[in-house]
């Protein structure tokens, strides 16, 4: 097993010990009180040193953390109503990319997003959040619905990538993503995108063009997975930590390159350490962005979005 | 023509076969007379294998002689990540590609006449870093699309690419969005956009402008797909059927309008363009 994968194991051990002592302390608070306080302090110090200088590869581990909030957590915790709408009206319904009508505070919107599962069973059904063409086509249908109903689109991104399967190819994975990009470029309602976990290449971008693209502090977004890049360029998948650093896939790097517009803060060490706080931060950020883009006319929205994307990698911008 | 040089090295000078007179088809290994090979061009008369063309070769067989005017040849690679894979930097790699190909980027764009109809074209060159989509590539395609829009000229793109250029990281991925933003404007303003998919058109290029055309034309047996064969085989743990991800496969599955032999391509484009009422 990769030793880096459990870089916060020491912290987990202390937390377990504190929990244990707290149970004992119920019976004998005098005896364990100081010991707990001592451990709590150790824990705080460790947290600060551990999370102050995370490597990109460690951030990848946080972005993929099994306890990290998933789309369903955001839907339940942030939206007062969600009416799921199924199917692409062409082939089927993709459980790995879902969508529907959603209300956030007093604002109505169309929500789309990758859905990962927490159990093996769910993940088989949801394909670990790797969408098939019918997922992208369902998202397209719902974005067109948003346009007709004059509702903003909120897109949650958390996927290792679009599904690389035989059937996905047969049904036109490439065409499905391409069609979404062209449609998102000209959609006449606001699109707010948030990368909450893994932003996996074309599979992420397929629902990822927006007027505002936000990223959680420990999310990653990359043209290729660090493992994939390492196996191609380093000819060794184990060099993923090096590839993760070279690819500049963290929120801070993407903000610097102008690919994302803002970083949504996470609790120290990652969203899984305080999901409620994370949800509150995401909610605030979404509402702020919804308000911001609601002011613009459809024409202005599309023009501004065009300029935004035309500007990414503008010749001579880098020099 | 790397394969051609390779063969020379293998056989050496004293082989007796006139190296300049015969070409061996990379696919069926038939010896084809040089004149016949380049007349097609670079198509095997026996097995109809379409060998890859350089951007210049493609322009030469597509446009009316002397009508091509190139856009932005100065646009070159950028290195937003200052990327290095430990052995070689992207900068060095890109410089080598420039020296080898005489190009500054993986695409040549411009305006010209096709059978007397003025068109805007973008032609990718696989020799340049596998025709990968970098920021310079995306910029040139967007500028060409923008030119087509302003002058109301049909836009034709010949793709030949392995996909996004990972050395440019997320900036490369965003070129998919950027080029599609340009294509979306053509769709909205009623300017024809014809995508010609040549061998190979995969990954981020197939999942963006190459598959967003009004009409999709492919060359025979061109490799076209989203994910790489190896990745798919590892994912589904089974061998892929023969002919998977070929132009013929995509035609059968409804993602290509038609397949045109290289010698008919120009005529095919010309006939289609005549259906557009400006």
Residue B11 scores a pLDDT above 60: no
CA distance A145 to A110: 8
pLDDT class of B86 with cuts at 50, 70, 90: confident
Asked if B136's CB is within 8 angstroms of A315's CB, the reply is yes
What is each CA distance from A229 to A73, A204, A257, in whole angstroms?
31, 17, 20
Asked if B212's CB is within 8 angstroms of A178's CB, the reply is yes
**CA A173 to chain CA mean position, Å:** 21
The whole-number pLDDT of residue B8 equals: 41
Residues B45 and B164 in one domain: no
* Nearest CB neighbour to B245, from listed A169, A202, A209: A169
The whole-number pLDDT of residue A2 equals: 47
**DSSP code of residue A127:** G
B131 within 8 A of B125, measured Cβ to Cβ:
yes
The stretch B214-233 carries a mean pLDDT of 96
Q: For the segment A113-134, what is each residue's pLDDT rounded down to a tens digit?
A: 999 999 999 999 999 999 999 9
Residue A319 scores a pLDDT above 50: no
Residues B135 and B5 in one domain: no
Asked if B81's CB is within 8 angstroms of A248's CB, the reply is yes
pLDDT class of B161 with cuts at 50, 70, 90: very high
Cβ-Cβ pairs closer than 8 A, A with B, add up to 195
Q: Assess if residue B191 is contained within a domain.
A: yes
Asked if B231's CB is within 8 angstroms of A313's CB, the reply is no
Determine the angle formed by the axes of helices A56-63 and A240-247, rounding to 10 degrees. 100
Residues in chain B within 8 Å Cβ distance of A315: 72, 75, 78, 135-136, 139
Residues B140 and B12 in one domain: no
Measuring CA to CA, which residue among A125, A130, A128, A124 is closest to residue A116?
A128
Residues B131 and B251 in one domain: yes
Measuring CA to CA, which residue among B269, B267, B264 is closest to residue B50?
B264
Residues B2 and B91 in one domain: no
What is each CA distance from B59 to A115, A146, B66, in whole angstroms?
45, 42, 10
B207 to chain A: nearest residue by CA? A174
Measuring CA to CA, which residue among B278, B263, B267 is closest to residue B53?
B263
A202 to chain B: nearest residue by CA? B204
Asked if A312's CB is within 8 angstroms of B177's CB, the reply is yes
Residue A68 scores a pLDDT above 50: yes
Asked if B83's CB is within 8 angstroms of A312's CB, the reply is no
Residues in chain A within 8 Å Cβ distance of B206: 174, 178
CA distance B236 to A155: 28
Return the sign of the alpha-carbon dihedral for residues A238, A242, A247, A252: positive
Kindly report the CATH number assigned to the domain that includes residue B229. 3.90.226.10
A174 to chain B: nearest residue by CA? B207
Q: Assess if residue B91 is contained within a domain.
A: yes
Give the HSE-up count for residue B190: Cα atoms under 13 Å, Cβ half-sphere.
Answer: 4
Q: Assess if residue B186 is contained within a domain.
A: yes
Asked if A182's CB is within 8 angstroms of B180's CB, the reply is yes
The stretch B188-208 carries a mean pLDDT of 98
Residues B150 and B29 in one domain: no
Most B CBs within 10 A among A137, A161, A179, A181, hence the mutation to make, goes to A181
Residues B41 and B57 in one domain: no
Q: For the segment A157-166, what is each residue's pLDDT rounded down to a tens digit?
A: 999 999 999 9
Residues B21 and B67 in one domain: no
Q: Which of 26-55 (B) contact A at CB < 8 A?
A: none
Q: How many CB atoms lie under 10 A from the CB of residue A2?
A: 11
Asked if B255's CB is within 8 angstroms of A232's CB, the reply is no
* Nearest CB neighbour to B226, from listed A162, A209, A312: A162
Q: Assess if residue B164 is contained within a domain.
A: yes
Domain count, chain B: 2
B228 is written with which tokens?
């790489």
Asked if A171's CB is within 8 angstroms of B253's CB, the reply is yes
The stretch A64-72 carries a mean pLDDT of 96
Residue B120 domain boundaries = 52-273
The stretch A17-33 carries a mean pLDDT of 79
CA distance A256 to chain B (A): 11
Residues B116 and B234 in one domain: yes
Residues B46 and B76 in one domain: no
A314 to chain B: nearest residue by CA? B139
Is the Cβ of B251 closer than 8 Å to some Cβ of chain A? Answer: no
Residues in chain B within 8 Å Cβ distance of A303: none
Residues B122 and B165 in one domain: yes
**DSSP code of residue A265:** -
* Nearest CB neighbour to B232, from listed A164, A184, A202: A164
The pTM of the full predicted model, rounded to 2 decimals, is: 0.92
Is the Cβ of B178 closer than 8 Å to some Cβ of chain A? Answer: yes
Measuring CA to CA, which residue among B252, B263, B176, B248 is closest to residue B218?
B248
Q: Assess if residue B137 is contained within a domain.
A: yes
Asked if B245's CB is within 8 angstroms of A309's CB, the reply is no
CA distance B229 to B3: 22
Q: Assess if residue B192 is contained within a domain.
A: yes
The whole-number pLDDT of residue A207 equals: 98
Residues B93 and B146 in one domain: yes
Residue A120: in which H helix or E strand, if any? Answer: helix A120-126
CA distance A133 to A174: 8
In this prediction the ipTM stands at 0.93
CA distance B114 to chain A (A): 27
Is the Cβ of B21 closer than 8 Å to some Cβ of chain A? Answer: no
Least confident of A51-55, B44-48, B115-119, B245-249: A51-55
pLDDT class of A35 with cuts at 50, 70, 90: confident
B245 within 8 A of B225, measured Cβ to Cβ:
yes
Q: For the segment A78-101, what is each residue's pLDDT rounded down to a tens digit?
A: 999 999 999 999 999 999 999 999
CA distance A183 to chain B (A): 7
The whole-number pLDDT of residue A184 equals: 98
CA distance A312 to chain B (A): 7
CA distance B109 to B144: 6
- The DSSP bridge partners found for residue B23 are B32
Asked if A257's CB is within 8 angstroms of B185's CB, the reply is no
């Amino acid at each position: 097993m990769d030793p880096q994968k459990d870089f916060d194991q020491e912290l987990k051990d202390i937390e377990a010990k504190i929990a244990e002592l707290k149970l004992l302390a119920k019976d004998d608070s005098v005896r364990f009180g100081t010991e707990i306080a001592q451990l709590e302090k150790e824990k705080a110090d460790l947290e600060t040193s551990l999370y102050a200088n995370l490597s990109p590869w460690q951030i990848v581990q946080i972005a993929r953390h099994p306890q990290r909030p998933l789309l369903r957590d955001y839907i339940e915790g942030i939206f007062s109503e969600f009416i799921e709408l199924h199917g692409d009206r062409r082939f089927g319904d993709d459980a790995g990319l879902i969508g529907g009508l959603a209300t956030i505070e007093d604002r109505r919107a169309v929500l789309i997003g990758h859905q990962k599962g927490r159990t093996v069973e769910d993940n088989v059904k949801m394909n670990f959040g790797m969408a098939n063409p019918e997922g992208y086509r369902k998202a397209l249908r719902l974005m067109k619905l948003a346009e007709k109903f004059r509702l903003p689109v909120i897109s949650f991104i958390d996927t290792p990538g679009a599904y690389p399967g035989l059937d996905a190819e047969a049904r036109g994975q490439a065409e499905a993503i391409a069609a979404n990009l062209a449609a998102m470029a000209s959609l006449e309602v606001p699109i707010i995108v948030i990368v909450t976990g893994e932003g996996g290449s074309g599979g992420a971008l397929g629902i990822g063009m927006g007027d505002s693209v936000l990223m959680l502090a420990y999310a990653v977004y990359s043209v290729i997975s660090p493992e994939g890049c390492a196996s191609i360029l380093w000819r060794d998948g184990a060099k993923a930590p090096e590839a993760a650093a070279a690819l500049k896939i963290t929120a801070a790097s993407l903000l610097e390159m102008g690919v994302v517009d803002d970083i949504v803060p996470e609790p120290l060490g990652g969203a899984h350490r305080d999901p409620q706080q994370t949800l509150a931060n995401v909610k605030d950020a979404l509402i702020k962005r919804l308000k911001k883009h609601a002011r613009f006319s459809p024409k202005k929205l599309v023009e501004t979005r065009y300029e935004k994307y035309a500007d990414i990698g503008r010749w001579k911008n880098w020099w | 023509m790397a394969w051609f040089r390779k063969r020379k090295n293998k056989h050496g000078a004293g082989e007796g076969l006139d190296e300049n007179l015969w070409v061996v088809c990379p696919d069926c290994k038939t010896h084809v007379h040089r004149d016949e090979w380049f007349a097609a061009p670079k198509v095997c008369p026996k097995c109809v294998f379409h060998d890859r063309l350089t951007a210049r070769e493609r322009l030469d067989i597509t446009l009316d002689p002397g009508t091509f005017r190139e856009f932005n040849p100065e646009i070159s690679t950028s290195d937003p990540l200052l990327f290095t894979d430990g052995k070689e930097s992207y900068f060095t790699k890109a410089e080598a590609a420039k020296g080898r190909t005489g190009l500054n980027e993986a695409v040549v764009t411009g305006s010209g006449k096709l059978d007397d109809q003025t068109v805007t074209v973008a032609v990718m060159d696989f020799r340049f870093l596998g025709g990968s989509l970098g920021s310079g590539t995306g910029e040139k395609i967007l500028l060409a699309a923008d030119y087509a829009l302003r002058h109301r000229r049909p836009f034709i793109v010949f793709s030949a690419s392995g996909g996004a250029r990972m050395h440019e990281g997320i900036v490369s991925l965003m070129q998919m969005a950027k080029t599609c933003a340009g294509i979306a404007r053509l769709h909205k303003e009623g300017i024809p956009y014809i995508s010609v998919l040549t061998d190979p058109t995969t990954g981020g290029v197939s999942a963006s402008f190459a598959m967003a055309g009004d009409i999709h034309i492919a060359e025979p047996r061109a490799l076209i797909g989203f994910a790489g064969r190896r990745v798919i085989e590892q994912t589904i743990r089974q061998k892929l059927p023969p002919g998977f991800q070929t132009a013929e496969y995509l035609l059968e599955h409804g993602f290509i309008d038609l397949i045109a032999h290289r010698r008919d391509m120009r005529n095919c484009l010309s006939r289609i363009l005549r259906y557009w009422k400006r």
